[in-house]
Structure 1
Amino acid sequence: MKFPKRYLIVILTFICTSVCYIERVGFSIAYTVAADAAGVNQSSKGTILSTFYYGYACSQVPGGWAAQRIGGRKVLLLSFVLWSLTCALVPLDPNRVTVLVIARLLVGVAQGFIFPSIHTVLAQWVPPHERSRSVSLTTSGMYLGAAAGMLCLPSLVKYRGPESVFVAEAALGAMWSLLWFTYASDPPRSEHPKASASGFGESLLPIKKSQGVKTAKIPWKKILVSLPVWAIVVNNFTFHYALYVLMNWLPTYFELGLQLSLQELGSSKMLPYLNMFIFSNIGGVIADYLVTKRILSVTKTRKFLNTIGFLVASFALIIIPTFRTSGGAIFCSSVALGFLALGRAGFAVNHMDIAPRYAGIVMGVSNTAGTLAGIVGVDLTGKLLEAAKTSNLDLSSPESWRAVFLIPGVLCIFSSLVFLLFSTGERIFD
């Protein structure tokens, strides 16, 4: 049997998200080591770690627009080349703050185009009954990349220095860009009426006609005032608040909160992200099964998985500081991130349910909120820890970290309620 082209596209987007998150985890590990060696305080570390998300936030909606007008395939390639070149050319020096800030802004802007482009590509290539597992597989690449980064990069930093992480990331980016350039293509336009009605197989680009170009008008106002869109936005914010706080501050929590080096943790430090990879794909398979077997409607399926995922994650996040061993902290963070990933089969696929033709645009809007969560959460965590030190609390004390994990835990409860009340699995944008 011939291997379907859409499967190849999904595999390539999976590898794409993996490489992106190797870069993000890699920077937090390399910069933490370099900054601690240079005596940088926690608040300043939080500012630098959050700089990426400013650039990332600025390019989400433009990324969706560019993917809609130019094509997700082309935009994806250009953005990957840009961030890879930035990693290759900019040195990691905590004392050169301006250079580091500009570099992280550039990487953030470039990577901000990636996810709206991916959603545009998948909306074109993947039929509705395969969307949950396809999106879950693609996004699970983030977590496998983060797991691989947590496992391998601390040793690379130890033996080759923090700068070696940048070189490795640039090489991975170049290799993926070559694969995408060689094997990716735009989908053939579908003539099947049901496929066209769902947005599957359609070119989302302007259609050339003899008398000019007819461009589909993007319903910006309808998108921005839609309650189902806002249900996705709120949950995207909460998901990324929890994810980015853990991704950027878990190394510091293990080093200062539990007095353990990442080297001592061995392979166990990758478990939270490996759990995300597993649960993300479990959620996708369950969602598609419930929908295709008509056990639940699309709306009820999305709400069920989103609610279970976020409520379990909230409990696990809140109790993290009560465990004073590496095993307890890794178990709680693994449960939290795993069930958040399960919840993605609710809100994250919902872009394609309600607006398949504008999936990149809606993804850009909701991912802007997710990026703002990175700016707020990562920076706020640094300030909370610095305030704890000012109050004469040792950062090895659980009280110093309680607010850090309580905030995303409460947000998870609030977001699950919003999704239950306002989300839908029905198509609402033509």
Structure 2
Amino acid sequence: MAITSPSRGSGSPVAAGRDVGSIRWVICSLLFLATTINYVDRQVIGLLKPTLQQQFGWTEVDYADIVFAFQLAYAIGLVLAGRVIDRIGTKLGFALALLLWSVAAVAHAWATAIGPIFAPLFAAVGLAYSVSVIGFIVVRFLLGLGEAGNFPASIKTIAEWFPKRERALATGIFNSGTNIGAIVTPLVVPWLTYTYGWPAAFVATGALGLLWLLLWWPLYNTPTKHSRVGPAELAYIQSDPPDPVVRVPWLALMPYRQTWAFAVAKFGTDPIWWLYLFWIPDFLYKTYGIDLKSLALPLIVIYQMATVGSVGGGWLSSSLLRRGWTANRARKTAMLICALAVVPIAFAANARHEWVAVCLVGLAAAAHQGWSANVFTLASDMFPRKAVGSVVGFGGMWGAIGGMLIAKVTGYLLQATGSYVPVFLIAASAYLVTLAVVHALVPRLEPAALPER
């Protein structure tokens, strides 16, 4: 069956391929669920920060160091995850990553028992923390190591299962799971905490990943091996010119500007999302007195807006491509619009009303997710499928390094000033600066000329 490209006047990318089958969208839904669980597990501690800080007497720097441990492990995990997934395949690699992070998430409930076990090791290297901080550092490190597999595996799956015309939309859909996870968490964590205590919140949310594995293992395979993919859908998935077969040693990616453009895009803006995830509940509590019982509605509004931004950002660049724009012009235009939409968050810390602040943060979160959908697509725009997992892992590592820096900076700024004003000024400027650097590195989005085997 011949597959033709959709005309400029046609509907969405989904409509263009709707008559050939829909198994690829089932796979996309699994990625969406995994990403939702991923963000539920990592966000619990952000909601419980005031509770845990009060119970254990943590300083702002203590909490920042706990976040730093997650980011450090996430950076290490991304380097390993991309390579491992490229070698052993998405099915097994994703399953192992999710198993590790689910066990680590559950282990948060016993962090205070884990702390004394590792206290001598911390003391031996001169790190003076309370046992509660040590316990949370250990489990957050393990959580970050496992969670690092989610995005390399998901982006590789999108590259395997979708033609280029649908990748931005599919990426936006699965990436919107970050927002749904952030919405679900404030709905369930306060109830679990007030009913059963904070350890139950970690156990219940951590167990979700084990349930996902029961869906992933029987339902996932590559398109050519999947029993439910018909010839028409397979032809549609493979309708782009075939990528060259290449070997991709990790160091071989380093000389290419495309690699560093993706890394800069992640380094410059991923930390801002981490900032929202781990500190916005605290910002609302300390600035407007919104406690754990009342956090759900403001956070739902913020992340509902972010969900719209995630899908909208992918839709925007895909729509421009259907109008005949080049990938370079379409992606960068969408990214510029998103970067400009973040700027008003500079005024959030001084907003006179809590809902003005919520809307400003929500707009910035939506813009970030629209930006992120396009940044992820850059990897598959500029690299062959075989290299995508490694590139995403490398870029994600730099995003996590940026997250480590923002954790330290935020902790020290809050400890020193008690104000979120300087923190939000950093967020407001990050995207425009990053886009300028990305454009300088890759004025045109051209495929990296990796050597053929």
If the TM-score is normalised by the length of the shorter chain, which range does it land in? 0.7 to 0.9
1:258 equivalent in alignment to 2:288: yes
Amino acid at match of 2:286: L
Residue 221 (structure 1) shift: 4.9
Structure 2: distance between partners of 1:242 and 1:119: 21
| Kept after mapping to 2: 8 A contact 1:18/1:142 | yes
Residue matched to 2:126 = none
Q: Deviations over 1:275-303 (max 9, x none)?
A: 11111111212222221231x11110011
Determine if the alignment matches structure 1 residue 373 to structure 2 residue 405: no
Residue equivalent to 1:428: 448
SS in structure 2 opposite 1:185?
A: coil
Whole-Å Cα distance in 1 between the matches of residues 195 and 217 of structure 2? 34
> Which deviates more, 409-418 or 129-138?
409-418
Q: Distance in 2 between matches of 1:306 and 1:283?
A: 8
Q: Specify which of 360, 364, 375 is matched with residue 336 of structure 1.
A: 364
Identity of aligned residues (%): 23
Equivalence for 1:268: 298
Displacement after TM superposition at 1:420 (Å): 3.2
1:246 aligns with 2:237: no
Q: How does 1:7-406 map to 2 (within 5 A)?
A: 7-90=25-108, 91-93=110-112, 95-188=131-224, 195=239, 197-199=241-243, 216-218=246-248, 220-221=250-251, 223-294=253-324, 296-313=325-342, 315-357=343-385, 358-388=387-417, 395=418, 400-406=419-425
Paired residues of 2:104 and 2:142 also in contact (CA < 8 A): yes
1:418 counterpart residue number: 437
Structure 2 residues not aligned, in runs of 5+:
1-18, 113-129, 226-233
- Change beyond 3 A, Cα 1:24–1:30: same
8 A Cα contact 1:31 1:92, kept in partner: no
Residue type of the partner of 2:326? S
Distance 1:351 1:16 in 2: 20
What TM-score results when the alignment is normalised by the length of structure 2? 0.84
Higher mean C-alpha displacement, 63-72 vs 188-197: 188-197
Residues 297-332 of structure 1: per-residue CA shift (max 9 Å, x gap): 11100110111101221x122111120321111011
Q: Which moved more, 1:116-125 or 1:340-349?
A: 340-349
CA distance in 2, matches of 1:23, 1:217: 34
Retained in 1: the 8 A contact 2:81–2:152? yes
**Equivalent residue number for residue 228 of structure 2:** none
- Number of matched pairs: 404
Q: 1:86 & 1:401 partners in 2: Cα distance? A: 31
Per the TM alignment, residue 110 of structure 1 is displaced from its structure 2 partner at its CA by 0.9
Over 6 Å off, 4+ runs: 189-194
Structure 1 window deviating more from structure 2 (178-187 vs 418-427): it is 418-427
Structure 1 CA distance, aligned partners of 2:22 and 2:423? 45
The two structures have a TM-score, normalised by structure 1, of 0.88
1:35, distance to aligned residue in structure 2 (A): 2.3
Secondary structure at the counterpart of residue 260 of structure 1: coil
Q: Please give the alpha-carbon distance, in whole angstroms, between the structure 1 residues aligned to 2:355 and 2:242.
A: 46
Q: Is the 2:82–2:393 Cα contact (8 Å) retained in structure 1?
A: yes
The code of the aligned residue for 1:181 comes to W
Q: Distance in 1 between matches of 2:131 and 2:448?
A: 51
Q: 1:165 to 1:429 in 2, by over 3 A?
A: farther
**Does the aligned pair in 1 maintain the 2:269–2:434 contact within 8 Å?**
no
Q: Give 1:3 deviation, angstroms.
A: 5.0
The 8 Å contact of residues 38 and 181 in structure 2, kept in 1 or not, is answered as yes
CA shift digits 1:32-82 (9 cap, x unpaired): 412222221111111112211111100112111111110012100011111
- Higher mean Cα deviation, 6-15 or 401-410? 401-410
Aligned-pair CA distance for 1:344: 2.2
- Rate the CA distance shift 1:244–1:179 in 2: closer, same or farther, 3 A: same
Give 1:233 shift.
1.6
Unaligned runs of 5+ in 1: 205-215, 389-394
Task: Indicate the larger mover: 220-229 or 301-310.
Answer: 220-229
For residue 219 of structure 1, report the CA deviation from its aligned partner.
5.5
Shift of 1:257: 2.4
Q: Deviations over 1:102-123 (max 9, x none)?
A: 2111111111122111112221
**Residue identity opposite 1:382 in structure 2:** G
Alignment CA distance shift 1:345-1:31 (3 Å): closer
Q: 1:345 to 1:265 in 2, by over 3 A?
A: closer
Report the Cα offset of residue 2 of structure 1. 8.2
| SS of residue matched to 2:58 | coil
Q: Does the 8 Å CA contact 2:47/2:292 hold for their aligned counterparts?
A: no
Change (3 A) 1:287 1:193: closer
Q: Quick one: which amino acid aligns to residue 197 of structure 1?
A: P
Structure 1 residue 266 displacement after superposition? 4.4
Task: Give the RMSD, CA atoms, in angstroms.
Answer: 2.3
